[in-house]
């Protein structure tokens, strides 16, 4: 009997070769499926591709569009106009209004120089504090000296108060019973306040 060679073995007896062929076929199939999925995904999501780039460029061009500069006429009047006059009145009367406003300005200036004084209580016990306060709009930083009316004249009282933010406040003591009249005076400007009366005792 003769010997059978390797080439004459039936195909079913080559498991290694068959396994390699099957593995190769599966790898090609999976690769083909992944390639198709990737291609479809890029089309759906708009990633990559010439069409996507063209659309993106078109969008960028539209968002970055600037109109061509056009020369405009120069403004001859003011850019902002504030209404400072009554429109019914003619503009020529502006010069005649200035003298009329001057007395008002003077009155305002005089009112700013006045000192207004008031007492917290109109009667106190002997030796009790007499609280007072007031306003002096034009006397920021001024020192006001207290005076009391004695023997028919105003005499300096040993007390003073400073003006801050146009106002002042302090207190004094006195043992003199009866009606006491007080005022404050700015010695630098000579401005005198109104007087207040406080009954002591």
Residue 196: beta bridge partners?
Answer: 182
- Identify the segments of the chain with pLDDT beneath 70: 1-13, 46-66, 72-112
Sequence-separated (6 or more) residues with CB below 8 Å from residue 175: 126, 127, 200
pLDDT at 88: 59
- Contact between 191 and 113 under an 8 Å Cβ cutoff? The reply is yes
Q: How many CB atoms lie within 10 A of CB 14?
A: 13
- Could you give the C-alpha distances from 12 to 6, 7, 9, in angstroms and in order? 13, 13, 8
What is the CB neighbour count within 10 angstroms for residue 56? 11
Q: Rg of the Cα trace of the chain?
A: 52
Q: Cβ contacts of residue 169 below 8 Å, gap of 6+?
A: 131, 132, 133, 134, 161
pLDDT digits (tens, 9 = 90+) for 58-97: 444 455 656 777 776 666 655 555 555 555 555 544 444 4
| Pairwise CA distance, residues 94 & 103, whole Å | 16
Give pLDDT, residue 131: 95
Q: Identify the pLDDT of residue 77.
A: 56
Question: What is the reported pLDDT for 69?
Answer: 74
- Contact predicate 135/166, CB 8 Å: yes
HEC assignment per residue over 126-195: CCCCEEEEEECCCCCCCEEEEEEEECCEEEEEEEEEECECCEEEEEECCCCCEEEEEEEEECCCCEECCC
């Amino acid at each position: 009997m003769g010997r059978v060679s390797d080439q004459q073995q039936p195909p079913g007896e080559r498991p290694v070769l068959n396994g390699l062929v099957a593995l190769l076929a599966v790898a090609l199939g999976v690769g083909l499926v992944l390639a198709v999925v990737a291609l479809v995904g890029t089309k759906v999501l708009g990633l990559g591709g010439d069409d996507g780039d063209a659309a993106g460029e078109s969008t960028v061009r539209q968002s970055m569009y600037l109109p061509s500069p056009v020369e405009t006429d120069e403004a001859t009047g003011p850019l902002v106009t504030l209404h400072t006059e009554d429109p019914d009145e003619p503009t020529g009367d502006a010069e005649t209004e200035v003298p009329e406003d001057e007395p008002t300005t003077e009155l305002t200036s005089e009112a700013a120089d006045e000192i207004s004084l008031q007492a917290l209580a109109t009667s106190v016990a002997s030796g009790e504090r007499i609280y007072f306060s007031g306003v002096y709009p034009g006397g920021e930083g001024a020192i006001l000296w207290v005076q009391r009316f004695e023997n028919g004249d105003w005499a300096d009282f040993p007390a003073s108060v400073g003006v801050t933010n146009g106002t002042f406040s302090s207190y004094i003591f006195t043992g003199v019973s009866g009606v006491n009249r007080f005022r404050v005076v700015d010695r630098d400007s000579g401005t005198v306040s109104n007087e207040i009366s406080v009954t002591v005792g």
